[in-house]
Structure 1
Amino acid sequence: MNRPPAAPMPLEVRNLMRARQHPARAIDCPHCGAHDRDPCKTISGRRLLTEPHPARVSAWAQTTACCPDCQVEPTVPCHDEGRARTTVHDRRYQEAQETAA
């Protein structure tokens, strides 16, 4: 059965959908390799996820905000008394969300 082509999505609807996306989708996901603006996917690549991976959110916060806890600038990883962390401090997440709002 042949279907007629779908109507193009109106620009207002497209912009509204992008506004609802998590701001972490602005960067590539270090966990699954999803490109910027694309949703995260399972490692097998079969299912698209509604929320970004925690590693992507952490990378986004590190890229966009200073950390009030360890006093580092954007792009510099958080640390605990000189020991590198694999994620950012909770307060850095908050700073990044306030910056994105």
Structure 2
Amino acid sequence: MTRIPGAPMPDSIRHGLRAQQHPARSVACPHCGAKEHRPCTSRSKTRQMPQPHPSRISAWVRATAVCPECQVEPGVPCHLDGRELRDGAVHPRREVEAREVAA
């Protein structure tokens, strides 16, 4: 028997099905290399993590929210006194802003 592919899933339905997932899963993880919408894994790829890695959360925050602290647009890294924050970190207020936008 040949399987007939179904119609593509509308984004509105897909969003509802993924609502229980952390919104940071919408970006790839720079720590473990997990693809978009896939869970983070251990470095050895043997175990799935219950929550995204902090670097993945920072990448999601950078991609989605404006920083009220340093006034940068989405996609631009946070800075302090003209220097980018260490290890791609973001200001805590920017993370709060991203969570409010995602809700």
Class of the TM-score when normalised by the shorter of the 2 chains: 0.7 to 0.9
Name the TM-score, length of structure 1 as normaliser: 0.83
Identity of aligned residues (%): 56
Which residue identity does 1:92 align to in structure 2? Answer: R
Distance 1:59 1:15 in 2: 20
Distance 1:62 1:15, change over 3 A: closer
Determine the structure 1 residue equivalent to 2:63. Answer: 63
RMSD: 1.7
Distance 2:40 2:93 in 1: 24
1:28 aligns with 2:66: no
Alignment of 1:1-101 (within 5 A): 18-85=18-85, 86=87, 87-101=89-103
Q: Which runs of 4+ in 1 moved over 3 A?
A: 14-17
Q: Would you say how many aligned residue pairs link Structure 1 and Structure 2?
A: 89
Deviation for aligned residue 1:19:
1.0
Name the TM-score, length of structure 2 as normaliser: 0.81
Distance 1:15 1:72, change over 3 A: closer
Q: Structure 2: state its 5+ residue gaps.
A: 1-13
Distance 1:15 1:31 in 2: 25
